Chains A and B, each alone.
Chain A
Amino acid sequence: MKTFLVLGAGTGGTMMANKLAKRLDPQEWKIILVDKDETHYYQPGFLFIPFGFYKPEDVVKTKKAFVPSNAEFILSDIELIEPDANKVTLTSAKRVIQYDQLLVATGTDIRPGEIEGLAGAGWHQNIFDFYTYAGSVALSKFLSTFRGGRVVINVAEMPIKCPVAPLEFSFLADYYFQQRGIRNKVELIYTTPLSGAFTKPKASEMLGGLLEKKGIHIEPDFAISDVDAGKNVIYSYDGREISYDLLVSIPTNMGADVIGRSGMGDDLNFVPTNKYTLQSQKWPNVWVIGDASNVPASKAGAVAHFESDTLIENIERSIHGQALQETFDGHVNCYIETGFGKGLLIDFNYETEPLPGTYPLPIVGPFSLLKESAVNHWGKLAFKCIYWNILVKGLPMPVPSRMSMVGKRA
């Protein structure tokens, strides 16, 4: 009996465990899925919790509910991965697992400790993240009694998970304060280490314009050096300082510590991965999905989903001694909430930046690219249902994995 070990039962790991369970011969392969947490969070929902648009219970299910019946689920942290010896040691009972194939799906987390003063006295007092369940729930409590003042949204360092989420947060904050009738008492400032609102030129221009239209001041090229939680001020390395009443922080994102401990990661604990085949650059029986890899695509569930199609094919090919296919094109597809019941959609890959047009079909869409519409907003809301019922279960989605130019205007 051979072992296929999946580390991490988040979006990518769960999806792949389900695909593997269907594709691998159960007489020949045993699938083991390991995660330190029992709860599966619908992470895109964290964005809506602070404003009361989602309730905390809307985004929580148990991980076990999505584990295929012929796979073993182990609840444990991981102590060490030794890819040269095909061996993983778990924290729980120091159990050692020898594997034949390994999928790393350990994701990325926020590290407020990387920025001086950020994780100190102000953390979850008037400094909040919305990238964790605890952070978004705590922020929702804070906002419900907030009467006005300066709200600073700070992106500490790139890359981050879901790079559009901080912009969506800003748009929704504008909408939320208007609904509460206190927008005139709230100043919104968006600070980013990037030179504009986003990384890709056309989308950056469009999203930057939206910030301006909504009266949200953007402070570009702002590389945060430290936070003074006593004075409520953030400082940049080039000497700028901005005071806040509420700091919404998107701290440095890093891969799992075990990746660093095991010598498998780069400076941020992301695993060097072939960006077209999704095989580890160093170990042919190690595969990487989603946020855990260093591939230059957005860290997002939709990307993990597109990656899973390349991965399942290549894993099968590799097991049968066939050459790998270089099919992953860096495809990213995300809905961007812009408030007032509207949303944007962007669709791009390694080579093509987000362009205007319609998706997935020309003219009829139904979704419009790089343009606000109510249909895009419904698409975003419908995605929660698609996520739980199709995506994490590894079932086929009705859109192609590779990016298509159909419907786009270059």
Chain B
Amino acid sequence: MSKLLDSVKFDADGYLDDPNQWTEELAKEIAAREGITLSDRHWVVINYARNEWKTKGEAPTLRNITKNTDVDTKELYGLFPGGPGKLAAKVAGLHKPTGCI
């Protein structure tokens, strides 16, 4: 574990406890821990997710991301393999998306 990752708290699933502690440096290290190297396209998604969280208080859904950015669903799965909604929220330092009931 890096010092940076050690300096903040995560929940049991690996989501940052306090989204306010998030920094771009931290995002890079969380991503690396998930096996992802961040590109400009990742940052489009991460910045959008951060903004959504600031205005609405929660992580955006996949549909919300693809509707409001130029990243489509296929690309999103390429950028954040497996579960792009959860993984993008994790890297953006947000809580686990509640999305579905």
**A residues adjacent to B (C-beta < 8 A):** 157-159, 163, 193-195, 199, 221, 223, 225, 237-238, 267-268, 296-299
Tell me whether B35 is interfacial, beta carbon within 8 Å.
no
Interchain Cβ contacts under 8 Å between A and B, 30 examples:
A158-B99, A158-B100, A158-B101, A159-B99, A159-B100, A159-B101, A193-B100, A194-B100, A195-B83, A199-B101, A221-B82, A223-B62, A223-B73, A223-B77, A225-B73, A237-B73, A237-B74, A237-B76, A237-B77, A238-B77, A238-B81, A267-B61, A267-B63, A267-B64, A267-B67, A268-B63, A296-B98, A297-B101, A298-B101, A299-B101
B100 — which chain A residues lie within 8 A by C-beta?
Answer: 158-159, 163, 193-194, 199
Contact of A296 among B62, B76, B101 (CB under 8 A): B101
Look across to chain B and name the residue whose beta carbon is closest to the beta carbon of A239: B77
B83 — which chain A residues lie within 8 A by C-beta?
Answer: 195, 221
User: Could you mark each residue 69-101 of chain B with 1 if its beta carbon is under 8 Å from any beta carbon of chain A, else 0?
Assistant: 000011011000111000000000000001111
Look across to chain B and name the residue whose beta carbon is closest to the beta carbon of A160: B100
Question: Looking at chain B, what size class is its interface with the partner chain?
Answer: 10 to 19
Q: A158 to B100: give the CA distance in the assembly, Å.
A: 5
With contacts A159-B100, A159-B101, A267-B61 taken as known, whether A238 is within 8 angstroms of B73 at the C-beta atoms is no
A195 — which chain B residues lie within 8 A by C-beta?
Answer: 83
B99 — which chain A residues lie within 8 A by C-beta?
Answer: 158-159
A163 — which chain B residues lie within 8 A by C-beta?
Answer: 100-101
For the complex of A and B, the 3 pairs showing the least CB-CB separation, nearest first, are A158-B100, A237-B77, A267-B63
B63 — which chain A residues lie within 8 A by C-beta?
Answer: 157, 267-268
The interface centre, meaning the residue of B62, B64, B100, B101 with most chain A CB atoms within 10 A of its CB, is B101
